[in-house]
Amino acid sequence: MEAFLISLTTIAVAEIGDRTQLLSLVLAARYRRPLPIIAGILCATLANHAAAGFVGIWFGSLLKPQTLELIVGISMIAMALWTLKPDKLDAETGSTGAMGAFLATLTSFFIAEIGDKTQIATIALAAGYPSLVAVVSGTTAGMLLANVPVVILGKAFADRLPLKAIHYVAAGLFVILGAVFIGRALWR
C-alpha cells in the first residue's frame, strides 16, 4: 500500500503544470470530448509507466539494496530540481484530425510522456519498491488525478491554479522522498 500511495501522490503533485497536463488541456480544447481523451490518457499512461516500471525493476535487480536506495534517493532529489523548471508545450501535438480524440490522445500522450519527469520518477519508484503493480497503479492514478480535472474543466480550471506554489510543493515532496531513500541507504 505504501508503494501505491507514494507513487500516486508523487506523480499527482509532480504532474501539475507538466507538459502532459498542458497537452491534456490542448486536447480538451481541440476535441471537446472528455471521455475518449481520458481513456486515451489512461491507456497511454498504463503502457508508458508499465514499460518504465519494468526498466526500474531490471535496473533495481542489478544493484545491491543499499546502492539502489542511494541512487533512488539521489534521483528523487534530481526530480525535485527538475520540478522547479515548469514545462511548456512545444507544439500542438495530437492535431491529426482523422484519428479521433482517443487515438490522438493515446499516441500524443504516450510520446509526450517519454523521458518526462513522471516517467523517470516511475522508473525510480519501481526500482525502489518491490511491487510493480502498486507502483504502476499509483503512478497511473496520479496522472489521472492531475489530468482528468483539466480535461473536464479545461482552461478555466487550469488558469486558477497557483502553479509556482504547486511546483514548490512537488519539489519538496521529491526532496523528502529522496531523503528517506538516502537515509535508508546510509543506516542500513
pLDDT in tens, 49-75: 999 999 999 988 887 878 877 887 887
- Among 71-75, 93-97, 166-170, where is mean pLDDT lowest? 93-97
User: Is the predicted pLDDT of residue 152 greater than 80, yes or no?
Assistant: yes
Task: Check residues 17 and 137 and name the one with the higher pLDDT.
Answer: 137
User: Is the predicted pLDDT of residue 8 greater than 90, yes or no?
Assistant: yes
Task: Check residues 2 and 60 and name the one with the higher pLDDT.
Answer: 2
Mean predicted confidence (pLDDT) in 144-171: 76
Task: Check residues 159 and 73 and name the one with the higher pLDDT.
Answer: 73
Using a cut of 0.85, tell me whether the model's pTM lies above it: no
User: Is the predicted pLDDT of residue 87 greater than 80, yes or no?
Assistant: no
User: Is the predicted pLDDT of residue 40 greater than 90, yes or no?
Assistant: yes
Q: How far is CA 56 from the centre of its chain?
A: 14
128 near 66, Cβ under 8 Å?
Answer: no
Can you give the residue range of the structural domain that contains 114? 2-186
84 near 168, Cβ under 8 Å?
Answer: yes
Give me the number of domains the chain comprises.
1
